[in-house]
Structures are given as C-alpha cells and as structure tokens.
Amino acid sequence: MAGNSFGEVFRVTTWGESHGPAVGAVIDGAIPGIEITAADIQKELDRRRPGQSGVSTPREESDTVEILSGVFEGKTTGTPISLLIRNSNQHSADYDSLRDTPRPGHADFGYAEKYGIRDHRGGGRSSGRETVGRVASGAVAKKILAEYGIEVVCHTTRIGSVWADTNLSLSFDEIKENIEKNLVRCADLKAAALMEKEVDAAKTAGDSVGGIVEGLIRGVPTGIGEPVFDKLDADLAKAIMSIGAVKGFEIGDGFAAAEFTGSVFNDAFEIKDGKIQTTTNHAGGILGGISTGNLIRFRAAIKPTPSVSISQKTVNIAEMKETEISISGRHDPVIAPRFVPVGEAMAAIVILDHLMRNQALRLSKTNLNQNNQK
Amino acid sequence: MAGNSFGEVFRVTTWGESHGPAVGAVIDGAIPGIEITAADIQKELDRRRPGQSGVSTPREESDTVEILSGVFEGKTTGTPISLLIRNSNQHSADYDSLRDTPRPGHADFGYAEKYGIRDHRGGGRSSGRETVGRVASGAVAKKILAEYGIEVVCHTTRIGSVWADTNLSLSFDEIKENIEKNLVRCADLKAAALMEKEVDAAKTAGDSVGGIVEGLIRGVPTGIGEPVFDKLDADLAKAIMSIGAVKGFEIGDGFAAAEFTGSVFNDAFEIKDGKIQTTTNHAGGILGGISTGNLIRFRAAIKPTPSVSISQKTVNIAEMKETEISISGRHDPVIAPRFVPVGEAMAAIVILDHLMRNQALRLSKTNLNQNNQK
Amino acid sequence: MAGNSFGEVFRVTTWGESHGPAVGAVIDGAIPGIEITAADIQKELDRRRPGQSGVSTPREESDTVEILSGVFEGKTTGTPISLLIRNSNQHSADYDSLRDTPRPGHADFGYAEKYGIRDHRGGGRSSGRETVGRVASGAVAKKILAEYGIEVVCHTTRIGSVWADTNLSLSFDEIKENIEKNLVRCADLKAAALMEKEVDAAKTAGDSVGGIVEGLIRGVPTGIGEPVFDKLDADLAKAIMSIGAVKGFEIGDGFAAAEFTGSVFNDAFEIKDGKIQTTTNHAGGILGGISTGNLIRFRAAIKPTPSVSISQKTVNIAEMKETEISISGRHDPVIAPRFVPVGEAMAAIVILDHLMRNQALRLSKTNLNQNNQK
Amino acid sequence: MAGNSFGEVFRVTTWGESHGPAVGAVIDGAIPGIEITAADIQKELDRRRPGQSGVSTPREESDTVEILSGVFEGKTTGTPISLLIRNSNQHSADYDSLRDTPRPGHADFGYAEKYGIRDHRGGGRSSGRETVGRVASGAVAKKILAEYGIEVVCHTTRIGSVWADTNLSLSFDEIKENIEKNLVRCADLKAAALMEKEVDAAKTAGDSVGGIVEGLIRGVPTGIGEPVFDKLDADLAKAIMSIGAVKGFEIGDGFAAAEFTGSVFNDAFEIKDGKIQTTTNHAGGILGGISTGNLIRFRAAIKPTPSVSISQKTVNIAEMKETEISISGRHDPVIAPRFVPVGEAMAAIVILDHLMRNQALRLSKTNLNQNNQK
C-alpha cells in the first residue's frame, strides 16, 4: 500500500535513506534450495556502483552486502532473505541548503507536500541510492532464473544525440560482453565512443544528457503472464517506470507500432524445430500479456540527470520566496548507463514473480507428494 | 494474483468472456454517499460502443448496465458495487475455425499455452469486449473524482501517418468537446478528417492502422503517489499497458527526454497565485512518482488491429501443421479511437485509488470523531 | 482493502445486499480444466437454504445460481468465475422501522457509524444472506479439492445446554451422512433430538440459542501453510471468524490446551505404513502453522440469533432517544446448523488457496515445459 | 504470499532465524511526523526478553534494537522503518542432534516437509525468537496509537489449573500495573503466586504447562473494521493465532456464547453521556466485525511449551527410523506470560492498520488541501 514492496509471490521490500545508517531489502518468497552467496549479490552491487570515470559520479561507495537471514549452509531456505548494506562516505552537511529548497527535476517537492516531513540529505528515500536494495534483490532473482535457463540483459541504445546502430545484429551474448567494455554500457562500441564524448561535453558544460536503454530477456517459456490487469508487459512497464528518471516504456516495436499496418505488424506463426514460433517479433515476445516463448524486448526512456551545476530557479518553501540553486558535488552527467543493472534487476524480479504465479495454477496430483513421505 | 483485479483501495475486478452470457465488474472500496445512477455508467458504455461508421465495427452491442449492489436510494453505500452487462448478438459459430488456430497478433496462442483450455469464441476473455467492465468501473471512478474537481480526457494524436498539430494549444475543455465531433476522437479537427481517410483506405485494403492517444488529467492535488514501487506514473503505466493493443507508455515528454539536457528538461519552480508551481511541465505533472499539482499528461502507443482480412500464416495447434487464416467479420480497422474511453477509465481508477491510499496516511485526531457520536 | 475478498491465489469476492436485486461472487484463480456445473453449486446452495422446520426460518429462498463466466463446455478455463443469484421474496417494508434503529446484537450500528449511510432492509450487506456468495464459491473450491482427495465436513457439537457425545468416535463418512438426517446437523443422532427440543423451546419463548460446530478436513498433504503470519490455522481462524455470529475459534484441543502438560499435549512422531505420523492429534493436524498430514480439526463458537421477538432496549439514532424493539418476522432461533455449509465453504477456500500458494514454491525445470510445446 | 508480512496499510514484514546473524522487521506505512526513539522500542523488547526466574528461560538475550531508516530527527518520515536486532549467545552446536529429528509439538517436521531444507538450529525461523520482529514493530504501532488515545494490554488469566479471579473487576490501568509485579503477568496477585508455584512444579518435573491470556483494547472509536472478510475480530483472530503456541481465540464471551439465549447475550443500546453505548459488553466491543466504541476484549489459549526434558518418541527423518528425544537446555516451562508483549504487539498492529484502512474511505474536499499550498 505504501509502495515499498514489489512482486506478489517473489516479493521484494526495500528500505533506507541515502544518508541514513544503511539501505537494504527483504525478499519474501524465494524458492528453497537455491545456492546463493554474498559474492553473487556483491557482483551486481559492484556493477551498480559509480565508477571513477567522467560518466559516473566519483563518490566512493563500497556497498558491502551482508546476508542476515534466509540462507543456510549456502542455500536458500524459503524463509525471508534480509540484505543489509551500510551507508558510508556521507557528506550530509553538503545538503543543508536543500532542507527547504526543492531541487528542480527532483522528488524533493513531492515528498515535502506528501509527508510534511522529509530527510532532505542526499534526497533521502528518493535518492538513486534507493536502487541498492533493488539491485541486491535482483541478484537473487537472477541467480534463481539462471537455474531455469532464463537471462536478462540491458544495454544503452541512445545517449543525447548519439544512437547505437540497430543494424549490428549482435547476439544476446555479444551484447552482454560488449557493455562491460565501455562506460556508457553500449554494445555498439563505435557508438559508445561517441556517447562518451557527448557525456563529457555535458559534464564540462555543467549540464547532463538523457538516453534510452533496451532490455532483452531470453529463455522465458510460453504462457507466463496473468491477464487481464497483470499482463506480463504491464508489470514490466510498472517495474521499469518505478525506477527514478524513467519517462517512457515500450514493448517490442512500441511507439513505432503506430506507423505499421496490421498485416505487417502481426507476427505470423510457423513451426520450427517442432515448436510453434513466430517468423518476426514485432510484439516483443508478449501477446495479450502472455509470453510467446520469443525473446522479450523492451526499451526505457531515461531523462537527463536533474542535478546540474548550471543555476536554476526554485523556491524556498519555508519562506515562500523564489530563489536560485546551483547543485555542486558529485553527480553523474548521465543516468542511462547506471540504469542498466537496475533495469536488469527489476526485469528479473518481474519474470521470476510471474513464473511462480503461473506455477500456482499448475497444481497436480503428483505435486501433492511431499518431500519425505513417498 | 490471477490478474483480474486492479487497484488497492478502490479495487476493480472484471469478469466475462466475449461470447459468454455476460460481462461485468465488481468495485470494492467505493467512497460512501456519492450519487451514482445507471445512466452515469451507461453514458460511458455508449462512448465505448462501436459506432456505425467505417472506423468502428458495425456490431450492434446494446450493452445495458444493471447495478446489482452497493447503491441504495441513489447513493453509494461503501459496499461492493456489482455491475452486470448481458452479452447479445453473438455469432459464435463464426469462430469455430479458430478453435485450434491462433490468430496472429492475438492472445489466442498464449491462452492455449497457459491454460490448456480456452473459450475461443470471439477471443473469449482476451476479447476487446473485456473492456466493458473497465469502462463501467471507470464511470464510477470518474463520478467520484468529479466530486473532488478531478477530470480525465484522452484524445487521438496520431493515426498511421497523420499527426494532430501539437501547436494548436487547445484547452482541456476544447479537447473534451472536439473529440466528440469526429469518429477518430482527434481534437485537431483538420487532422481528424485526414485520419478518417487513412482509416478508410486501410479498411478498403483489408488491413488496419495503428495510432497514438494522449491522456490529460487535471485537478490532481500535490502529494499523490506512493514511492518507491507504486509511483503514480508507474501505476498509470501499468494501467494503460494492461489495455489490449497498447505497446508503449510515456509520461510528460517521454522518449523525447533522451534528447534534452538537464538544464532544459528540469521544470523550474516559481510562486504563482500564492502557490508553488513549475514554469514548464516536461515532467508531465509527476516528479519522483508524486503529483506536483500540474496537469498530468501521458501518451499510449496503440498497435494496428490484428484482425485483418488479408491472408496470414498461422499454425493449427491440434494438428501441429502450418496453415493460413483470413479474418472476416466485424472488425475495427483502427483501435486508437476506441481506446479513448478505456484509457480514461483506467486513468480515473488509478488516480482515485491513489487519492484514497494517500488519505490512509492522513489519520488525525479529529478524523477519529465518527458520524453519530459528536 | 475494503474487505469483500478472501484468498490470495484462489480469490473470492462476494457482493450483494439482502434486499437488493441479487447477491453473488467472483472467483479469480480457479485451476483450469476442472469439471463444474451449476448443479454442483446448487447442491450447496440448497444445503444453505433455510428449511421448513422450526429450527430454521420459513422464508422461501429459491436461490438459483447462474454461472456467467469462466466455465466453457463444462470445464473451468482459469478465467474469473462469476456467479449470480437473484434475490426474491423480499418484504422490504417489514424493515422500515429499522432505518434509524439499530437492532441489538446486529451490525446495524457499526454500519451506520462507519459509512454514514446504509441499506437497512434486512440488514443489507450484513445480512446472513451475504453467505450465499461464500457457499457458492466454496462449492467450486470443494469440487476442485475433491480432485486432490481432500474433503471438508462441519457438524454441530453443541446447542444450548446439549452436547454431542464425544465418545461416539464416528468416522468422517458417518458424520457426513448423519448430519443430513436431522435439522440441527448433529452427527450424534440422540443428542440431535434433544437439541431440536431445545431449539423449539427457545422459539416458543420468542428467544434463541447458541451453539458450537466442529470442522474436519481430511486428505490435506503435509507442508501446507505459510509461516509466519499466514499459518494455516491463522488463516482458518480468520476465515471462520469472518462468518457472522462466530465468537470463537479453536484448532485441535484449543482452549483445553491450557490444562495439559507439554509431555502429554505433544503428539509423538512414529512411522506407520511407511509414513511419518503422530500417535495422537492434540494439535489438530497443524504444527507451527503447517499441515502435518493428519486430520485437521477445528471448532467455532456460534452466538444465539440476535433477532428475537422478546422486547429489547435500543436507540433511535436520528432522534437520539432511547426506545424498545421487538423483532418479528422470519428468523431462525439458532444459527449453528446453518453455519455448517458456510463453515465448510470457508474451510475449503482456505485449504485450496494454501495448496496453490504452496505450489508456487515448487517451480521446477520440468514444470516449465508448456502444454503444446514438447 | 509467503506469509512473512502482516497488515495492509501499516504493513510489517519480519525476518530472521534464531541462530542466524540477526532478526528484524521492516514497517511500511507508518504515519509521518510521529516521535519515536530506539528507547520506545527497546522498552517493549525488554518486556519480551526472558527473565532470570524459574518461569522463563535464563538465556541472556540483550536484544538491542537499531533503527536503520524511516526516522529523521526523531520523527517518522512515512518511509519504511527498518529495525535490526543482532543475535548473540548462540549455542548452535546444542542443536546438532535435531538436524534430522523433529521435536514433537514443534514446527520442525512441517518445515522439513514444506521446504526440503531448513535451518534446524534453535528452530530457525519457527523459533520463538521470531517474535522479536513482531514486538519491535508493535512498539511503533503502540506509540502511534497512543497519539490517538488507544491502548492495549494483555494479562494472564489461567496457568495450568490456576485461574485468575474474574470477580476482581480491576481497572484497565490496574491490570497494566499489576502484571509487571509478578513473573506470570497475572493481574490477580493472589492467583499469580499460585501460578508461579504451578510453573515451578512443572519445571521440576521436566515438564511444562499451558495457559490463557486475555487482551483488552481501549479507546478504539466506532466504525473500525471492514466487512465482510476483514472483520476487525477476524483480523484479530488471525493476528493472535499466528503467534506460535496459540491454539484458540475468543472475542467477548467467546465459547460461552453457546450457552446463552439471544435475549441475554444481545447488548442493549442506551444513551449515556450523550453517546450511544451498550449496557453490557458480551460482544467484546465488536459487532458485525465493526467496533462499537466499547472496550475490545479477547482471549487466547496457549499450549504448554513443547520443549520438555521428559523423553518423547520421535523419528529420524533421514534414516526413517523411530527414536527418542529429551530436550535439554534453556526452555521456559510456560509460554503464556511471554505471550503478553507479543499479543499486545499484534493487537496494536491490527488496530492501527484498520484505523488507517478506515481512513482511506474518509476522503474529503478539505483533506485534499496539501501541506504547503494553502
């Protein structure tokens, strides 16, 4: 109800403020008997961490995860998994001026209006730091999905005016590999170099740039997704739009669908390798909210970082008078590349949750046989 | 869990198949004491009904709503409102050939895979007829929202290659008025005429066209929306993406955000008429998932109608062999204009649900005073 | 949130007022492919119907169920099952005097305080007629459970001062059979005759009597129930306590547990027929909230019918002055026997819901193989 | 779904195993602006802690709570409150023999059957230590309720064969005071002395005893509780029955209702001090699932501690052979007194959750005025 949980069967609750003692997550509904270690989670947290280069904030976040429950002798037990990541390196005093002055493009104003009280330091709960809990939980989801041959990858396809070449037709694995080779996480390595330049230019100008990220999910079996309201793409849309800075979501051809005719947009069915498949994939792997067995493909529009050092007009709420603000400090000039691990995490959570929801319908007589009593 | 309910406090459950005895909805959580009549609901159902022209299917759906519970002496009582609409004019035999043959672009294949059994007649539960329950419930939500000065309108901004002129700067009321003047529900009357021609051409060709619809919500107070996962725009995204044929969702400038710099995209705060407002509205009325008090503005991408009379490749599932299909019968050559009342309904449900969720936090000592005992 | 739904996977929503046009229920999450007919549901509704004798109200309720969706060619499809039962034989004018005068022991006062408006006719939503939707939904749950060899029965063990003999040690099947042989639904036929006399005496005095009903569930496999908060017995307690007039719930030995020592109360484990079982069943088939594979046994305390013709003190709310009330009309002098089909329905819903919830955890690689694609 | 959360608006999720690194809870939905300190929570944790006497286990649990989020400058912010309590003093090796040997009366067997893997040390998730998260969350609920003048107290009314005198008619405040004066938390000080003797005798015999605890809630306004399924007493029943070792729940006169006639059991309405009240309170403050404004009164049946040093029959699951077990170590010979703070916590959570749920319906035009914008 208050919005800090996601998922119905595999249910993640995140908590924590940017400059509080810690951030973390509790996962309820993890499948028992899956091997999971702190290192599995740490790997994803490290991918989330801002780097040392110009494209991401130089803030030193060590982000060491501690598994507090739900894992016994290296395996999940089916009980809640509590994940704790202590905050460090907080320059809370940097934010004193923001106590009554909402930053344009930030959630500050909304929180003040909604709650009448807020932890203003570093954006508090609305900080990008909130995604630590998402990424840690997503790491568990990814580990479980891997057991079923399901994998997620996100990659940057646009930053500012630079687009990745859509004719490259890189494989899923090539994309996975390439995005770790550059700071903007673009699989088209030529475009990546141009994107980095665009980011540097924005940084120099005290400004920031937007972008687009594509997500791919392979291995999802047919029949996953719950009509009517909990369509698989509707839940993916919610999951992705719930990530800060995302302004749009598309599945398959998305907004380009408007320019197609039905006879071209429809994906024809055929039999291939003894399976029913579609000849094309305009739909993006989901029809009527249910997976078709094809690659699932979505895109997210990411706005430019709202924290810019260029001076902006705002209002002091306490004094109710207009003022100006220039946001100094450590801020990424672009969010899209940092969206990548978060988008993967949320997509993984949606897919796992829906796999388990679908499973609830598959009650069978043999399933009733329990573990010890044969 | 099984996906036929939406909303947490104002919760709508829809049911019914296209060619079953009836379709309907149950609303749990309506605010008590609100005047509502069958005519209020009928008005929206009539807007949803396909018309007589070339742009919508000639099927005669009378769609008369019956209020079965939750309203007493013309007012809501706070108990569940059950709405029943009998189906009529069913040509179920038309669909016999579809029993084992999924239509490309339709949900048929997914339902067969998921459930192993399905009512294939007219698409069964996945038919566009499922939206009757959404529109009927949305009519109740709209009526309640009107009590609080909140209003929703959707209008077509693109069909095929024709765009509405974005420089017209029509007011909210002008848009509401104009969309009832043409069959494509476009507020730009010149563009509307061209859109109608594009639709007619598709129909003549036995084909169909896609489109884009914009939604506007005025009067939403500040502070509505629940961080982190239940952001107001995330829930709007889910609500809109859950409507059949929708392939994309944007809030504010949406995908265009990628081409902006932060200093331009950020909406500066100012004081106007004694209130804190923003000078621009690139965000679309929502920041950090919480309403800013501005006009909320979103867009949905609608794919072309999948039912086309042009022959398409498909597979007979029972015999596991490839075949062709040509879908005759009554089908709209465009979905976008029919999305309009459904999109309004879903947006209204999201806003009302979040208003009530926000209210739960506003427990106060005076609120504890009950009705009779002063 | 507003309380008219029950269950998480197998989710039932009921609606309807006593003197409105109809009552009914929507079931979301029924397992697909199960045979179900209107007759299966009608059978349970007929058991719920008040009879012709002194122990139940002579009101003629025909209660014919119509299945409006979710069943195709005699089988469930996995989509919502909408059940409609029209109301008839309404003497609404009988209730005019109750518009502003809450009946002692009834929900009238609470509804007036909570909503500020209520359908006072026959108790409106708080009428015992609300259980029609429960019983109809429970009939579907029972039918599905039967596929898995699970069965529920409730039987009256006390009415007023008369107790059923606990030393009779009747079998589950004998209890099922015996309760249909008498009006108080007591499996001890000797006690039943005495109970009927006690009820008749109360009726003659213009008064009413309370009772106790026991529920038995056989065939539940081990491992069902979700710790920590959704223990199987906690959810059974909620389900049973949510039925009007129930004032207490026990599992296993219940309140008598207080007088035991641990060494006696603990059920020792043994191996029998190659299975792990317990030598006794003080626990009532549930330990730590999880089923042990034993017979599940619970009891409900049912208060005497609050509608009595003996004059009682109450208050006219509109005029805020004290008055007296004598409730004439058709009222059962005892509720316990009528609780039987309702208790069975709710218990069946809880067990089926938990079986499906448990199933969600049992995701396996082979389960991912879908229907058509081998 | 997986059962580790409770409440809809004020929603508590607990996590942690007895011998894992820590236990804790996350509260989502706390009302913003309420003063809360670690000391407020610590006070309740200290009440939960086992003492030094014969009636409770001598285990040294320091149980120091750390507030990790959701509180800023001493006040709740409306964001999730994360509470962490490190485990200490673990003698995990004591439990090695229990890896494959379920203890009679414990949840061990069910966990093994359900999950196929379990942390057997100290009962893992099913340990009484799980209640730390409940009590910590309940402390927050109690603090918020106090702002609205609502208070909860639980007190022991029976241990083994000793009953508290029901004719003492102690006030709510006297009960609160008295229970802190003795180790069994009985408000009748004479009975308390006898109860302590009964407990000591059981301990000496290597056995344990059961008990009954009564809960009282004062200050709940009228109109709280959601019909039909989420009746206030149904949710209280679930909350209380979800606590380990509870075997029964009663509201008001409970099981004794069976022996009343309706004319006596009904609580007549009268006007007193300008308010509508009832002359008696057989109902226990709740009618039709909605609060009447009266004192809410419930009782819980608590089974004897299952851990006894007397030898018991059980089974080695791995070897599938029968064996015996004698549970040594630190175990309370009675659970009832330790139920007191846990029962209070759960009752407080239910009441606060329902107050907030009820508030969602009370949307008004003036409520829409937000904080800053007048």
Q: What is the ipTM of this complex?
A: 0.96
Q: Which residues pair with D11 in a beta bridge?
A: D28
CATH class of the domain whose range is A5-361: alpha beta
Q: pLDDT, tens digit, for every residue of B41-90?
A: 999 999 998 764 456 655 555 899 999 999 999 999 999 999 999 998 67
Percent of chain C exceeding pLDDT 70 equals 94
In this model, does residue D63 exceed pLDDT 80? yes
Q: Which residues of C touch B15 (CB under 8 A)?
A: 26, 28, 68-70, 79-82
Minimum-distance CB partner of A28 among D5, D33, D317: D5
Half-sphere exposure of A38 (CA within 13 A, CB side): 11
Q: Which residues pair with D246 in a beta bridge?
A: D302
In this model, does residue A371 exceed pLDDT 60? no
Q: In sequence order, what DSSP letters do the residues of A209-276 get, joined into one string?
A: B-EEEEEEEE-PPTT-SBTTTB-HHHHHHHHHHTSTTEEEEEETTGGGGGGSBHHHHS--EEEETTEE
pLDDT bin (cut points 50, 70, 90) of residue A60 is low
Residue C92 is predicted with a pLDDT of: 72
D5-368, superfamily in CATH? Chorismate synthase AroC (3.60.150.10)
CA-based nearest distance B140→chain D, Å: 15
In this model, does residue D126 exceed pLDDT 60? yes
In this model, does residue B372 exceed pLDDT 60? no
The pLDDT of B208-233, averaged and rounded, is 97
Minimum-distance CB partner of B251 among A247, A291, A304: A247
The pLDDT of D358-365, averaged and rounded, is 78
Q: pLDDT, tens digit, for every residue of A326-352?
A: 998 778 899 999 999 999 999 999 999
Least confident of B92-106, C75-89, C173-187: B92-106
Cβ atoms of D242 and C289 within 8 Å: the answer is: yes
Percent of chain D exceeding pLDDT 90 equals 86
Burial of residue D18, with CB atoms counted within 10 A of its CB: 0-12 exposed, 13-18 middle, 19 or more buried = buried
DSSP state letter for C282: T
Residue A8 is predicted with a pLDDT of: 97
Detail the residues of A annotated as belonging to a binding site for NADP(+). Answer: 48
Q: Which residues of B touch C76 (CB under 8 A)?
A: 117
In this model, does residue A65 exceed pLDDT 70? yes
The pLDDT of B119-126, averaged and rounded, is 93
Minimum-distance CB partner of B361 among D32, D222, D274: D32
The pLDDT of C244-269, averaged and rounded, is 97
In this model, does residue B91 exceed pLDDT 80? no
pLDDT bin (cut points 50, 70, 90) of residue C237 is very high
Q: pLDDT, tens digit, for every residue of D258-295?
A: 999 999 999 999 999 999 999 999 999 999 999 999 99
In this model, does residue D236 exceed pLDDT 70? yes
Q: What are the distances in angstroms from CA D31 to CA B359, D77, D135, D345?
A: 11, 8, 18, 17
Residue B124 is predicted with a pLDDT of: 94
User: In angstroms, rounded to a whole number, what is the distance separating the alpha carbons of residues C64 and D89?
Assistant: 64
User: In angstroms, rounded to a whole number, what is the distance separating the alpha carbons of residues B183 and B268?
Assistant: 39
DSSP state letter for C290: E
Q: pLDDT, tens digit, for every residue of B249-287?
A: 999 999 999 999 999 999 999 999 999 999 999 999 999
> What is the C-alpha end-to-end distance of chain D, expressed in Å?
42
Which is more confident, A119 or D57? A119
Residue C298 is predicted with a pLDDT of: 98
- The CA-based angle B162-B163-B165, given to 5 degrees, is 135
H or E stretch covering D90: none
> Structure tokens of C217?
């569930």
Residue D51 is predicted with a pLDDT of: 60
Whether residues C372 and B1 touch (CB distance < 8 A) is answered with no
In this model, does residue B110 exceed pLDDT 80? yes
pLDDT bin (cut points 50, 70, 90) of residue A89 is low
The pLDDT of B103-117, averaged and rounded, is 95
pLDDT bin (cut points 50, 70, 90) of residue B374 is very low
CA-based nearest distance A258→chain B, Å: 4
Q: pLDDT, tens digit, for every residue of C284-343?
A: 999 999 999 999 999 999 999 999 999 999 999 999 999 999 998 778 899 999 999 999
Residue B44 is predicted with a pLDDT of: 97
Q: Quote the radius of gyration of chain D (alpha carbons, Å).
A: 22
Q: pLDDT, tens digit, for every residue of A142-164?
A: 999 999 999 999 999 999 999 99
Whether residues D110 and C222 touch (CB distance < 8 A) is answered with yes
CA-based nearest distance A337→chain D, Å: 27
Residue B95 is predicted with a pLDDT of: 80
Q: pLDDT, tens digit, for every residue of B283-321?
A: 999 999 999 999 999 999 999 999 999 999 999 999 999
User: In angstroms, rounded to a whole number, what is the distance separating the alpha carbons of residues A246 and A213?
Assistant: 10
Residue C146 is predicted with a pLDDT of: 96
Residue B50 is predicted with a pLDDT of: 75
Q: pLDDT, tens digit, for every residue of C30-75?
A: 999 999 999 999 999 999 987 644 566 555 558 999 999 999 999 9
User: In angstroms, rounded to a whole number, what is the distance separating the alpha carbons of residues D239 and A105?
Assistant: 43
User: In angstroms, rounded to a whole number, what is the distance separating the alpha carbons of residues B122 and A278?
Assistant: 22
Q: pLDDT, tens digit, for every residue of A214-268?
A: 999 999 999 999 999 999 999 999 999 999 999 999 999 999 999 999 999 999 9
Cβ atoms of D251 and D237 within 8 Å: the answer is: yes
Least confident of A47-61, A319-333, B189-203, B265-279: A47-61
User: In angstroms, rounded to a whole number, what is the distance separating the alpha carbons of residues B205 and D203?
Assistant: 89
Crossing angle of the two packed helices C38-48 and C336-360, in degrees rounded to 10: 140
Whether residues D369 and B221 touch (CB distance < 8 A) is answered with yes
CATH class of the domain whose range is C5-132+142-367: alpha beta
Burial B6-37 (b: 16+ CB within 10 A, else e): bbbbbbbbbbbbbbbbbbbbbbbbbbbebebe
Annotated binding residue D127: yes
Q: How many CB atoms lie within 10 A of CB D366?
A: 5
CA dihedral (A63, A68, A73, A77) in degrees, to 10, reads -120
Q: Which of B265, B272, B356 is most worth mutating to test chain A (most A CB atoms within 10 A of its CB)?
A: B265
Residue C95 is predicted with a pLDDT of: 80
> Structure tokens of A83?
């994940």
The structural architecture, per CATH, of the domain B5-360 is 4-Layer Sandwich (3.60)
Residue D298 is predicted with a pLDDT of: 98
Residue A328 is predicted with a pLDDT of: 81
Whether residues C237 and D237 touch (CB distance < 8 A) is answered with yes
Residue B51 is predicted with a pLDDT of: 60
* Neighbouring subunits of C (3+ Cβ pairs under 8 A): A, B, D
Q: Which residues of B touch D357 (CB under 8 A)?
A: 360
Minimum-distance CB partner of A15 among D4, D32, D70: D70
Residue C51 is predicted with a pLDDT of: 60
User: In angstroms, rounded to a whole number, what is the distance separating the alpha carbons of residues B151 and B144?
Assistant: 10
Q: Which of A287, A305, A304 is nearest to A296 (CA)?
A: A287
- The CA-based angle D234-D237-D241, given to 5 degrees, is 145
* Neighbouring subunits of B (3+ Cβ pairs under 8 A): A, C, D
Whether residues A13 and D9 touch (CB distance < 8 A) is answered with no
Least confident of A3-7, D58-62, D130-134: D58-62
In this model, does residue C374 exceed pLDDT 90? no
What values do phi and psi take at B163, rounded to 5?
-105, 145
Q: Which of C145, C300, C289 is nearest to C217 (CA)?
A: C145
pLDDT bin (cut points 50, 70, 90) of residue C364 is low
Per DSSP bridges, beta strands A65-67 and A71-72 are: unpaired
Cβ atoms of C47 and C342 within 8 Å: the answer is: no
Q: How many CB atoms lie within 10 A of CB D273?
A: 6
> Structure tokens of A116?
């009448």
Residue B367 is predicted with a pLDDT of: 54
Residue B49 is predicted with a pLDDT of: 86
Residue A268 is predicted with a pLDDT of: 97
Q: What is the mean pLDDT of chain C?
A: 93
> Structure tokens of D1?
């779904």
Whether residues C269 and D229 touch (CB distance < 8 A) is answered with no
In this model, does residue D42 exceed pLDDT 70? yes
Detail the residues of A annotated as belonging to a binding site for FMN. Answer: 125-127, 288, 303-307, 330
* Neighbouring subunits of A (3+ Cβ pairs under 8 A): B, C, D
Residue A369 is predicted with a pLDDT of: 43
User: In angstroms, rounded to a whole number, what is the distance separating the alpha carbons of residues B315 and A275?
Assistant: 10
Q: Which residue of A has its CA nearest to D369?
A: A113
Half-sphere exposure of B169 (CA within 13 A, CB side): 1
Q: What are the distances in angstroms from CA D278 to CA B370, D214, D290, D294?
A: 16, 21, 14, 8
Minimum-distance CB partner of B11 among C1, C21, C119: C1
